[in-house]
Chains A and B, each alone.
Chain A
């Protein structure tokens, strides 16, 4: 019963958000855009971290790479070309580094993902300063309303991906890896290939989201584009909402976007402290997240 009401509430909120450009001003559309961005990022994150238990706190690396690719391509290309290229770049990067990275397990994997994202950040900083650029400005990007539409599609894609993977044979294999990797291998699951594929699948949409957001802000600097707080926010949203269900990331993103609207501009440090507190509280007391609490269905 509760699941039914939750679905109805989510469907209504979805319609309200999707229609924002038709009835609301730029401020509200901007908030809606940021909500959709977090849904897209957090859903993608759960495909890797929710299903396999390989918790990534460096997912911003794909976002930043996507942003960098789009800024390098410039505004001359249509979105339908530049954004898929951003996604492809993230995917390629994930495939290249995935195998050695995913051999590292548990807490070491977690901290490795962070170190890797920082490494790429400093790499891009060095590259940019070598090229003599300290920030790049983009003129003539698409309108806010267009970007909103793009982000709506990306959020839909990420949600669909998370839903499809969860129901597939592949998804069940990933969950087996999460619960016991040696046992999963013993029952015939090609663990290395599955983990790599999950890693790469979870990177595509973040790459495209990064590309979209650089058009929104119309400038690129490595430090904000690879901000570790973006990774941390994804993790916190997934944990708050619950990553065992595709509704979790939507709830988590909704809650935190509301908090951030109140605090981010006025007191960013207070906002970060609240994120930290929420993360600790949910890890300790409600590992299933809000969604797990509401539905009370232990997987």
Chain B
């Protein structure tokens, strides 16, 4: 089996050393490079063409989120997992918008990183359980405070099914194949879902799914 090639981006050498040790114990993972700032990461990603980039948010020169955006734009097949100190939705949202597929908290990296790398390398989304929990709690709390109706109830069961698949990172085509319907039908469902939930793009859709606990 082909090993997954990984690029580690973190400005702290202790962090990189720890992560490298963690990853190299896995037989099917291989750390192909390390970088210590955003710009170097972009350059290395272009040169090494890794399968997965493990990206720290706070890095000098160019921060992790902006670096992610550049890397994903240049090479959409690269899967980026963000390592962050913050379980806040602003960060998650920005990470998702920048094209990252996974969002991990540093303090749970040891437990979740391996799983996250495998998930995102298969095109799925991955969030630290703690992040999912916090986002879901916030969502419920705001709904309660506002006394608003949970828009999720407006979705049909088919739409919920499609929402989950899309949020997991699957493309319209994948969903169409999985459900044995046409990609156009999937697209129609998708736009209904966005409209009903008052969402505007895929990143918001994923965030919504995380908040609702549909994916994690």
The answer to whether A and B assemble together is no
